[in-house]
Structure 1
């Protein structure tokens, strides 16, 4: 019997825990900006740490479909690692390509459950973010979160993509929205899966739980805080899987410097000239849940879906249905 359902469950649990790290990063970012206001670049703390992370990263990538090509695209902020899964005939008849922007600490490997639904239908690109753990490198600091749009734009240009459907999860959703606002001509459609901050601030409860992450105390307190933020049990927080090992290695050995996303104004949302789809979690949403959905609908964004029985790990939890729905959404905007 296949162990695929068990592997999916493990991956979903790990990404629920990853939701807690989103909050932790935001809190750390605010504290760091006060203590050290000079912009810095993300970097590995040691060569040994990077090698340890890379071994874990390679373990997770080994479970994904083998990419057709691997690119390291030079940008003004560093080199961006991009994996390409080319459609038959390089997608000449399959519609515009799809670009995937990941959440924090998860990189391209986070899309493992989703890729199988899209590979072979159209060309898909997944990348590691600049300034975060992964195979991308940062050489120039960001002075504001909005500058994240520049490396995305330069990467798409470097890949020769005149237009693409852009999909972002969590921090990747915030980056994708910021990029579409600055460079709408490159974006055929924008899909935001649990995008943090850009529609609605984080729930107050997540900040309360995050206090335990930074107070002196036993690891059991921190595990309980991560469980509370991520909507999982303490046992799930402590579970070890290839993905959780990769995330842990990245958190331990990479010093990430990324500014907090800002909430876009009504005017900015209304000025977007590209089709925008928003998908939000009903439970433990870090994007604002139903309140964010109400705002998105009032702004005229469409479609806006709140998925029942899902958390911030929405892309993995709803992978099968999203696979079909997003393919239809892209096909409707292949122009």
Structure 2
């Protein structure tokens, strides 16, 4: 899902793109999760195993919630934190997301499920139905892979206040699952930033704004290299 973004940084940065534990992919999970904090422990195992003393941590959606939780518990490993449409950690999910998600588990017509995936992902139904390697993987994973993953939680003001590393927050202005302008304002109130609300974007913000985000994030990481 980072295919639109990685070309902007390959050759300039050493990149580690990890398949999420608890989701379909090539990573192998050896023990069950007991809480969402286990997601942070997994990221720490990866960074430690690669002998990375400090890294710029970047996450989108669920991955951003993982990145934020890891930074909360392991701030010494993080040079900067970039959160793109982070779910839950700034503001709870809209009620509509739970409705659309439940539809995916029911024996409903495929057309309904296509609509649900479009609403959750912030894309059109036509994009969901387009058969690309990415869409095929998502479809196969949703049908044949089942590994219950603990849900992220909204971090308290005190927890956000304890995160002293530089934090960048990018929010979509349409069909945001991160909380939209309210989430952006909370980040500003918490003195986290820069905070940007991107016009004409949905929850698929990193792919939709890849050309603009590429140089912006590179400059942000360079500013906080140390």
TM category, shorter:
over 0.9
Paired with 2:23 and 2:44, the residues of 1 have a C-alpha distance of: 17
Residue among 135, 141, 146 paired with 2:32: 141
Q: How does 1:1-335 map to 2 (within 5 A)?
A: 110-335=1-226
- Structure 2 residue ranges without an equivalent (≥5): none
Specify the SS of the correspondent of 1:221: helix
Moved over 6 A (4+): none
How far 1:204 moved relative to its partner? 2.1
Q: How many residues align?
A: 226
Paired with 2:116 and 2:138, the residues of 1 have a C-alpha distance of: 17
- Cα RMSD of the aligned pairs, angstroms, is 1.5
1:160-216 Cα offsets, whole Å, 9 max, x none, are: 100110101111100000000100000000000111100011112223334443444
1:32-81 Cα offsets, whole Å, 9 max, x none, are: xxxxxxxxxxxxxxxxxxxxxxxxxxxxxxxxxxxxxxxxxxxxxxxxxx
Which one has a larger percent strand, Structure 1 or Structure 2?
A: 1
Paired with 1:153 and 1:255, the residues of 2 have a C-alpha distance of: 24
1:305-334 Cα offsets, whole Å, 9 max, x none, are: 010111111111111111111111111111
Is the 2:87–2:93 contact (alpha carbons within 8 Å) kept by the matching residues of 1?
yes
* TM-score, scaled relative to structure 2: 0.95
Counterparts in 2 of 1:293 and 1:133: CA distance versus 1, 3 Å: same
- Structure 1 residue ranges without an equivalent (≥5): 1-109
The structure with the larger Rg is 1
Counterparts in 2 of 1:209 and 1:330: CA distance versus 1, 3 Å: same
Paired with 2:190 and 2:182, the residues of 1 have a C-alpha distance of: 12
